[in-house]
Amino acid sequence: MRGNSPESDVVISTRIRLARNLRSLPFPMLATNAQSKEVLDQIVPVLNSDDLQQISGFDLFTLDQLGELQKRVLVEKHLISPNLADESRNGAVMINENESVSIMVNEEDHLRIQCLCPGFQIREAWDLANRIDDIFESQVDYAFEERRGFMTSCPTNVGTGIRASVMMHLPALVLTQQMNRILQAINQVGLAVRGIYGEGSEAIGNVFQVSNQITLGQSEEEIIDNLHSVAKQIIEHERAARQKLLGESKMRITDRVKRSYGILSHAAIMDSKEAAQRLSDVRLGVDLGLLKNVSPHVLNELMVMTQPGFLQQYAGAKLSADDRDIRRAELIREKILSS
C-alpha cells in the first residue's frame, strides 16, 4: 500500500493463488475433524521448514486462536478468505512479515498459497508462488492426475489450480460509460470481473478484480500471459478515458473531485459505501493532477482502514454501525488532512 509500484495509477495490487490438496485425504468439506487435523499435522512441518522460512519470516496462526474481530480484519486485508474465517475446521494461516504471502490450511482446499504484490507485478507474484509451491510439493504428496492436473474441491479450479487476479481502479471507464463494453470483452477471452473481495462481492469505489476463469487446458504461463495482456489493454483504456474526461469535462470532473475531497475532509459521519466512492473520486483527482496535497498511498491505506473490522480494531472496541460511521469519518479526516 505504501510503496511505489508499476502502473500504480490504475492497478492497486496483483494476486496469485494456488489451490492444492493432499492425495490421501478427503477434501475439507467432506473431511472429519480427525482428517482435517491430519492435514494440519502434515502441512505444519513444511510451514516451519528452513526452506520456507528462508523465503521470508512467517508466523502460524490457527483459526481457533483468533477472535471474530481479528479474523474479520484478516479478511478485509485479503490475507484469509471469508470461507476460512467462517466455516473452516482445524483451519490455519501462515503469514509472512510484510503480509505479501499468506498460506491457508483447510480452507475450501487443504492448501491455498496466496502471494500479493503492489501494483502490476503478475509475473513477480507468480514466481514467488511457484517457489513456495515447489517447497510443498517436495515434502507432501499432492493430489495430482496426469491428464486432469491438480485435483481441487471446486471443479472450476481443476488443472493448474491457479487463480491470478489484478485489482484495478477504473473510475474513468465507469464515468464515461465504457465499463459494460469492457466487461463483455473480458468475458469473451476467458476472464472474469468481480468486486473487491472476489466472487459474489460488489465492485464498490470503482475497484474491480480481473481474474482468469479457465484453469484446465492451459499452462500456468499461458494463463499469466493472457491476464497480463488483457490487463495492459484495460490500463490503456482507463488512461485514455481519463484524458477524455480532462479534455471534454475538466470543470465537471474537477468539481466532482473537489466536492468529494471537501466532504472527506469535513464529514462527521460516513458509511462504507460513500467512503469508497468519495475516496475513488479523490484518488482520480490525484492521478489526474487536480489535487496536489493528497498522497495516493494514504488513499490506498484508507481502502482497508475504513472497513468495519479494521475500524473496530483501530478503536480497540466493538462498535455499532452508527459508531463505525462516526469513527470512519474521523479516521478519514485525520489521514486526509495530514497526508
Task: Please check if 198 is assigned to a binding site.
Answer: yes
Cα 138 to Cα 41: distance, rounded to the nearest angstrom: 16
Task: Please check if 166 is assigned to a binding site.
Answer: yes
Q: What cell was used for 68?
A: 471474530
47, 49, 52, 82: which is closest to 68 by C-alpha? 82
Task: Please check if 68 is assigned to a binding site.
Answer: no
Name the pairing type of β-strands 144-145 and 11-20: unpaired
Cα 29 to Cα 34: distance, rounded to the nearest angstrom: 13
Residue 106: left if φ>0, alpha if ψ -120 to 50, beta else—which one?
Answer: left
- Which residue's C-alpha cell is 493430489? 143
CA distances from 312 to 75, 85, 287, 323 (A): 14, 17, 30, 10
Cα 47 to Cα 44: distance, rounded to the nearest angstrom: 5
Cα 243 to Cα 253: distance, rounded to the nearest angstrom: 11
Task: Please check if 328 is assigned to a binding site.
Answer: no
Task: Please check if 163 is assigned to a binding site.
Answer: yes
Task: Please check if 167 is assigned to a binding site.
Answer: yes
Task: Please check if 165 is assigned to a binding site.
Answer: yes
Task: Please check if 199 is assigned to a binding site.
Answer: yes
Residue 177: left if φ>0, alpha if ψ -120 to 50, beta else—which one?
Answer: left
Task: Please check if 164 is assigned to a binding site.
Answer: yes
Task: Please check if 168 is assigned to a binding site.
Answer: no
Task: Please check if 147 is assigned to a binding site.
Answer: no
Q: What cell was used for 175?
A: 464515468
- Separation of first and last alpha carbons in the chain: 14
Contact criterion met (CB below 8 Å) for 22 and 141: yes
Task: Please check if 20 is assigned to a binding site.
Answer: no
DSSP state of 300: H
Q: Write out the binding residues for ATP.
A: 13-17, 78, 112, 163-167, 194-199
Q: Write out the binding residues.
A: 13-17, 78, 112, 163-167, 194-199
